Amino acid sequence: MTEKSVIFFDIDGTLLNHDKEMPASTKEAIFALKEKGHEVAIATGRAPFMYEDLRKELDINTFVSYNGQYVVLNGEVIYKNPLITTSLVKLTEAALENEHPIVYMDHEDMKANVPDHDYIKESISTLKVEKFPTHDPNYYKERDILQSLLFCPEGEETQYEAVYKDFDFVRWHPVSVDILPRGGSKLKGIEKIVEKLGFPKERIYAFGDGLNDREMLTHVHNSVAMGNGEEEIKAVAKYVTKSVEEDGILHGLKMVGLL
């Protein structure tokens, strides 16, 4: 009998390829893991409403959303870590002066502080999700905002990094940056789930490819970087598998001995 493990998968560039399609081998591998009794979870920067269909398709009810700020175990919310509202107000004022729009996101929806902007369209469209942010400049004042998106060209986020120390800024697109609570990461969300499940570090696995996977792949005991991943992410991972398109998930799971 194989010892039970928990495996966390990033979505974009890991479960899904550049065209947001999932290789058949990946789906088969996920269900093979579940048949062996392993726990399968998602760890993503996406909002929970951006991958409901994927969770249903793979029958996954445990997930880390918003890079660790919203954590669900077997369908139950076990952790939320919202952005500090007073700091978000100040950041919004500065961003508006620089004509850098912001999208505010909670567990249910996302709203933009401007009615229309090319950067928002350009970046959000690459996710190929049905939901698109509508306009509500006061959305962040009424609820817990778990993540925001700042829209600016590469390099221009440094002016905010120097001033707004309550936040971490992680670029995910040439014109968009994730705004996270300082110190927030997928790793923190994973730790919340592992605490509840009681797995030893030797039986924790994580697959990822992007800059927001750095902490996760640096510290999870069995970390696997995708072949299509960022070079600096491959450098911190314990293993490097093939690309998504080359059946990288299946290959990686075989490589670490889970399949």
Which residues on neighbouring strands pair with residue 150, listed in sequence order? Answer: 102, 177
Catalytic option among 10, 168, 209, 247: 10
Give first-to-last CA distance, the chain, whole Å.
13
C-beta atoms surrounding 39 within 10 Å: 21
C-beta atoms surrounding 78 within 10 Å: 15
- Taking each helix axis from N to C end, the angle separating 248-255 and 24-35, rounded to the nearest 10 degrees, works out to 40
CA-based nearest residue to 126, from 50, 228, 181, 209:
50
Q: Is 67 left (phi over 0), alpha (psi -120 to 50) or beta?
A: left
CA-based nearest residue to 148, from 85, 199, 94, 191:
85
Residue recorded with tokens 């993503």 = 44
53 is catalytic: no
Active site residues: 10
